[in-house]
């Protein structure tokens, strides 16, 4: 039928989960990076599988009216963004369609109430967190990986990063060059500097800069601190993380404070969070508040509800829920996150929340046997939920389930399982744009029990 190297004419009708344009030739799906819906193109096939192919864009014969010139000069090389060539209204339409397609094609839902994507008022320079690899590949490079590779693209200014993080990157580049600091080589395992870190608080203006090294000894660290202080007068913290393992995991177990504090403070809504180098925190603070308020609205709390927050992380959603619930249990398997969650609850004066390090399925099963739950909130990783957890949610019979997802495909799969139980109906779906210029979309979904229990909760 088709083979690698074939040139095909395509009309792009949709966008895939990684931002590729999708078209069909003789009913055969072809995914083409940087192609947009509404465009007619020529592409050369680069990979041919049984049910689909990928292609390289060769020629655009009919352009989308939403196509624009990317603001970033390395957009076509860097793997950080996928949609800078699509104007922002076009990005929102694509993301809404991604959610709709997943629910219809994977979840087999029809007539679902999907609201327009909640837009970001600042879809550029929104990222408060930076983790950039450092490499010596045809010269010193600090930036991001190319798509599907570990080849580093040298980035002088990332247009989705907070500008202060870009300044950190520039200072570290100058420091490495000036003092001839060795750079980590993935193939040999030798070299000192692996990654550059940056964190910026939108609420307080505090700044953390960090260097990930292969060993504790770091030459010219005093000079690095002075260079950072000169370029960023309000810098709050400079840290060194040690990661000597030959792994793709960015951070090691040990973090040393070289200057200032071990953490910076940021806020989501009215709540303050202390963020260390290894803490998880949403990279888009303002849109995180939009997402969490949506989840809170869907939970429909009156002050009498008992709520479980699964995959609670450092407790961000839990604290929002606790302000309007009678009791909240936050469950998370990562022990560091649980400790952070407890600290955050205490710092914000929230006393009606408990956090546990536990398997979410076992913990939910245990709590639901002792207490009638009104609401279950869950925000799982991209892989979604195990069937066993979804069964436990159904068996615990909460009045409402609020599902927050970063992956429309696994969301649709899991919603179908919950609805097929016969106890729940899918009420409404709200996509939220947390990551402008990329193909990623967050979604908040409300499911309601068809026959909710009305007896008072057991205590």
Return the active site residues: 406
- Per-residue HEC secondary structure of the chain comes to CCCCCCEEEEEEEEECCCCCEEEEECCEEEEECCCCCCCEEEEEEEEECCCEEEEEEEEEEECCCCECCCCCCCCCCECCCCCCCECHHHHHHHHHHHHHHHHHHHCCCCCCCECCCECCCCCCCCECEEEEEEEECCCEEEEEEECCCCCEEECCCCCCECHHHHHHHHHHHHHHHHHCCCECCCCCCCCCEEEEEEEECCCCCCEEEEEEECCCCCCCHHHHHHHHHHHCCCEEEEEEEECCCCCCCCCCCEEEEEEECCEEEEEECCEEEEEECCCCCCCCHHHHHHHHHHHHHHHCCCCCCEEEEECCCCCHHHHHHHCCCCEEEEEECCHHHHHHHHHHHHHCCCCCEEEEECCHHHHHHHHHHHCCCCEEEECCCCCCCCHHHHHHHHHHCCCEEEEEECCHHHHHHHHHHHHHCCCEEEEEEEEECCCCCCCCCEEEEEEEECCCCCCCCCC
Residues 197 and 276 sit within 8 Å (Cβ to Cβ): no
Two structure tokens written together for 244: 């000597």
**Cα gap 107→207, rounded to integer Å:** 43
**Cα gap 249→97, rounded to integer Å:** 33
Residues 51 and 101 sit within 8 Å (Cβ to Cβ): no
With 0-12 / 13-18 / 19 or more C-beta atoms within 10 angstroms meaning exposed / middle / buried, residue 46 is middle
Buried b (16+ CB within 10 A) or exposed e, 246-269: eeeeebbeebbbbbbeebbebebb
Residues 6 and 47 sit within 8 Å (Cβ to Cβ): no
């Amino acid at each position: 039928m088709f083979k690698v190297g074939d040139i095909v004419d395509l009309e792009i009708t949709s966008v895939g989960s990684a931002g590729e344009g999708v078209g069909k030739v003789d009913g055969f799906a072809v995914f083409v990076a940087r192609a947009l819906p509404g465009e007619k193109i020529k592409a050369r096939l680069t990979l041919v599988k049984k049910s689909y192919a990928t292609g390289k864009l060769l020629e655009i014969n009919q352009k989308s009216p939403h196509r624009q010139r990317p603001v970033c000069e390395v957009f076509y090389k860097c793997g950080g963004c996928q949609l800078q060539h699509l104007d922002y209204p076009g990005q929102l339409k694509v993301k809404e369609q991604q959610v709709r397609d997943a629910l219809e094609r994977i979840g087999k839902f029809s007539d679902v109430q999907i609201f327009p994507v909640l837009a970001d008022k600042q879809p550029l320079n929104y990222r408060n967190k930076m983790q950039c690899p450092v490499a010596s590949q045809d010269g010193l490079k600090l930036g991001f990986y190319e798509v599907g590779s570990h080849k580093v693209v040298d980035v002088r200014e990332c247009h989705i990063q907070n500008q202060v993080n870009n300044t950190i990157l520039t200072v570290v580049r100058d420091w490495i060059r000036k003092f001839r600091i060795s750079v980590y080589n993935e193939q040999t395992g030798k070299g000192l500097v692996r990654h550059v870190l940056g964190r910026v608080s939108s609420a307080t203006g505090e700044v953390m800069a960090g260097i990930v090294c292969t060993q504790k000894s770091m030459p010219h660290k005093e000079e690095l601190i002075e260079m950072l202080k000169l370029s960023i007068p309000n810098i709050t913290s400079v840290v060194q993380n040690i990661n000597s393992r030959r792994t793709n995991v960015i951070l090691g177990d040990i973090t040393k404070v070289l200057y200032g504090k071990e953490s910076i403070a940021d806020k989501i809504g009215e709540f303050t969070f202390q963020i260390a180098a290894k803490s998880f925190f949403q990279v888009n603070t303002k849109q995180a508040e939009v997402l969490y308020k949506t989840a809170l609205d869907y939970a429909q709390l009156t002050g009498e509800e008992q709520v479980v927050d699964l995959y609670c992380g450092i407790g961000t959603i839990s604290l929002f829920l606790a302000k309007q619930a009678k009791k909240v249990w936050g469950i998370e398997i990562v022990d560091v996150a649980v400790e952070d969650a407890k600290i955050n609850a205490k710092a914000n004066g929230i006393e009606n929340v408990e956090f546990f390090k536990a398997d979410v399925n076992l913990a939910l099963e245990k709590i639901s046997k002792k207490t009638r739950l009104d609401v279950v909130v869950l925000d799982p990783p991209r892989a979604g939920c195990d069937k066993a957890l979804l069964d436990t949610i159904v068996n615990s019979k909460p009045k409402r389930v609020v599902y927050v997802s970063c992956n429309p495909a696994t969301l649709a799969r899991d919603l179908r399982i919950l609805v097929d139980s016969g106890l729940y109906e899918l009420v409404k779906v709200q996509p939220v744009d947390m990551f402008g210029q990329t193909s990623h979309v967050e979604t908040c979904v409300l499911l309601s029990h068809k026959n909710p229990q009305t007896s008072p909760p057991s205590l």
